[in-house]
Amino acid sequence: MDKAGWGLTLDSSSPSDSSSFFTKKPAGFLKLKRDRDRDLPGDPRMFPGIDFSATLGRRDDRHASATLSSSSSPPAGESRVVVGEVDFFSDSKNRSDEARAAAAAAATVSVKKESPAGAARSELNVNTGLRLLTANTGSDQSTVDDGFSSDIEDRKKSELAHLLVELQRMNSENQRLREMLGQVTSNYSALHSHLSSLLQQQQQQQHQSNGAELAQDHEGMIKKSQTVVPRQFLDLGPASAAAEVDEISNSSSEERTRDGSRSPLTTMEVASSAHNGKADQDSSGAKGGVRNESPDDSETQGWAPNKAAKLDAAARPGIEQSAEATMRKARVSVRARSEAPMITDGCQWRKYGQKMAKGNPCPRAYYRCTMAVGCPVRKQVQRCADDRSILITTYEGNHNHPLPPAAMAMASTTSAAVSMLLSGSMSSADGIMNPNLLARAILPCSSSMATISASAPFPTVTLDLTHSPNPLQIQRPQPQFQVPLPGQPQNFGSMASQSLPQAFGQALYNQSKFSGLQLSQEIANSSQFGQQVASLPQHLQQAQQQQQQQAPPSLVDTLSAATAAITADPNFTAALAAAISSIIGGAHPNNSSSTTAAATTTGAAATTAGNNNNTNISTSNGKMSSFPGN
């Protein structure tokens, strides 16, 4: 459920009392508790608590605000932020320092900042997405200038000059980063092509050696359909290659298929169950009638690892079955430091169970999404046994309804994570899949580590947001979950009202937009990268336009400048993250039809981040019928 107030009630849920963590109801909780009318998509106030989507930007905001107002009492708005937000992260101060360091590294010229209000105005007017830069540059120096300079015009003039210089610099950095991105993309494509060719050769060899028995051939066809076909609408560049690896692997696909039968149905499965409803119901009846399920409850039923799913899957064509088997197992686990009982990810959840899991004194709570009837998305929330300040949230399933912007953040995140999981790691027996790349692709501004485990009962992507910044990101403010204030805007549509960009959420929001654009254009068989570039936020496009006038720097400068840019501008980082994740894990031309059809069948968006409000369907989400959407 949406017990929205938890984030504000750190007090009641003492970390030391983990056993009662999920059972106690925070005191302050109640006052903020549930107000469904308020929890409308797009309502910025709706998700107090640890706001995943708004966290980063707000955190950055807070840090920047602290910097700007360090020598004087902060404006009312800022003080509200500072006071209201609770930093769950122990090293927040360090990150704040890092933020300043990043600003110092990025800003060769400090730009004065008159006041937060003035900054807000400039943001509204320019909307370059360089708010962090603006904020960062408006630091001590500007304060000093304000104190000693009575000539406002001169000050503004110099400020403007600084801004222009900074803008140019950022443009050049933007260009460099784009070049780097292009290199990464080309390298990725080359590697993928090479891998595909190798796999094809291996496949041919294996077929030649094993082509004797027809039965085996038939089974092989089934396997192929079980692996390749799903990947087709899961898509992704590496997908086909991975699927081929699966095909080569004797055990992986079968095990996955078998295990998948006990896993929750996905949207696609729900879709397919529409014409297999009788089997479902019959099977449900076999359960003793305990679960009185109507056809309308098929989605809910789908979550039950019952025989119905297995029988139904067995009765279905291999394609659908395999697709479900592959996708419905995917999970995304998000680790984040939080004292709150549950991270606020923008969706409404209702708790339906709690169990003591083995090996962990903390109970595991089970939630299901209640934003729409029959939404199959569920999540598990549990404290880390080793570090109870870490909250582990595992998402599973795919939303069948529009999501508010705040929810799209997590949706996009998990979407990207699962996209990468299903696209590239499924073939791997286990292990970490290029964590740096993955982490940067998914959450490049989070300093997170994305760990993929395919050997687990469910292929799981773990996004660890608790790690300290990696060397390449050390200067960047660490994203974290924070406690938003009630009534404070959190939706991304109101970013202009924020003091600083909600980098992470914006990144993911943009990502969704990117992907949505991609999806729609993929249908039109358009190239994706150009569309992604075309769908970049305005400030990026503006920067790109201007950066074309910049002379290319040296490689060293490029790298350093890129690092500085990334660390200094969460918006850019976000956009880059979105682009990368969309490119690598999110969008490919051949994935939309099947999933879209499935989604259409169910009348759902078949997307986690798919948002009617934005008429965007995240490709990475949309194709991930089993992806933990939220």
Partner DNA sequence: CGATTTTGACCTGCGC
Partner DNA sequence: GCGCAGGTCAAAATCG
Binding-residue total with DNA (CB under 7 A): 50
Q: Tell whether residue 530 is a contact of DNA (CB under 7 A).
A: no
Q: Tell whether residue 288 is a contact of DNA (CB under 7 A).
A: yes
* CB burial string 26-36: b at 16+ within 10 A, e below: bebbeebbeee
Q: Tell whether residue 378 is a contact of DNA (CB under 7 A).
A: yes
Residue span binding DNA (CB under 7 A) among the ranges 112-120, 299-307, 486-494, 495-503: 299-307
Q: Tell whether residue 300 is a contact of DNA (CB under 7 A).
A: yes
Q: Tell whether residue 292 is a contact of DNA (CB under 7 A).
A: yes
How far is the C-alpha of 440 from the C-alpha of 443, rounded, in Å?
Answer: 5
- Among residues 77, 305, 435, 553, the one that binds DNA under rule CB under 7 A: 305
Q: Tell whether residue 128 is a contact of DNA (CB under 7 A).
A: no
Please, are residues 630 and 403 in contact by the beta-carbon 8 Å criterion? Answer: yes
Q: Is 529 exposed, middle or buried (0-12, 13-18, 19+ CB in 10 A)?
A: middle
- Among residues 214, 358, 471, 556, the one that binds DNA under rule CB under 7 A: 358
Q: Tell whether residue 399 is a contact of DNA (CB under 7 A).
A: no
For residues 307 to 326, the per-residue mask of contacts with DNA, x marking binding by CB under 7 A and - elsewhere, is x--x----------------
Q: Is 615 left (phi over 0), alpha (psi -120 to 50) or beta?
A: left
Q: Tell whether residue 380 is a contact of DNA (CB under 7 A).
A: yes
Residue closer to DNA (CB basis): 368 or 440? 368
* Gyration radius (Cα) of the chain, Å: 25
How far is the C-alpha of 307 from the C-alpha of 626, rounded, in Å?
Answer: 19
How far is the C-alpha of 375 from the C-alpha of 303, rounded, in Å?
Answer: 10
How far is the C-alpha of 5 from the C-alpha of 2, rounded, in Å?
Answer: 8
Residue closer to DNA (CB basis): 306 or 528? 306
Q: Tell whether residue 161 is a contact of DNA (CB under 7 A).
A: no
Q: Tell whether residue 38 is a contact of DNA (CB under 7 A).
A: no
Instruction: Give me the least distance between CB of 345 and DNA, in Å please.
Output: 14
Q: Tell whether residue 258 is a contact of DNA (CB under 7 A).
A: yes
Q: Tell whether residue 14 is a contact of DNA (CB under 7 A).
A: no
Please, are residues 365 and 19 in contact by the beta-carbon 8 Å criterion? Answer: no
Residue closer to DNA (CB basis): 192 or 364? 364
How far is the C-alpha of 103 from the C-alpha of 99, rounded, in Å?
Answer: 6
Which segments of 469-580 does DSSP mark as H helices, in order?
A: 503-523, 528-534, 538-547, 555-568, 570-580
Q: Tell whether residue 259 is a contact of DNA (CB under 7 A).
A: yes
Instruction: Give me the least distance between CB of 9 and DNA, in Å please.
Output: 11
DSSP 137-177: HSSHHHHHHHHH---HHHHHHHHHHHHHHHHHHHHHHHHHH
Residues from 336 through 355 that contact DNA (CB under 7 A): 348-355
∠ CA 172-582-177, nearest 5°, is 15
**Phi, psi dihedral angles at 53 (to 5 degrees):** -70, -40
Query: What is the residue whose two structure tokens read 């968006």?
Result: 605
Q: Tell whether residue 121 is a contact of DNA (CB under 7 A).
A: no
Instruction: Give me the least distance between CB of 308 and DNA, in Å please.
Output: 8
Residue closer to DNA (CB basis): 31 or 194? 31
Residue 431's CB is within 10 A of a number of other CB atoms, namely: 13
Q: Tell whether residue 545 is a contact of DNA (CB under 7 A).
A: no
Q: Tell whether residue 3 is a contact of DNA (CB under 7 A).
A: yes
- Among residues 33, 38, 156, 207, the one that binds DNA under rule CB under 7 A: 33
User: Strand pairing partners for 394?
Assistant: 333, 380
Residue closer to DNA (CB basis): 96 or 338? 338
Joined together, the tokens standing for residue 387 give 């570090």
| Site residues for DNA per CB under 7 A | 1-3, 22-25, 29-31, 33-34, 36, 258-259, 261-262, 264, 286-288, 290-292, 300-301, 303-307, 310, 348-359, 364-366, 370, 378, 380
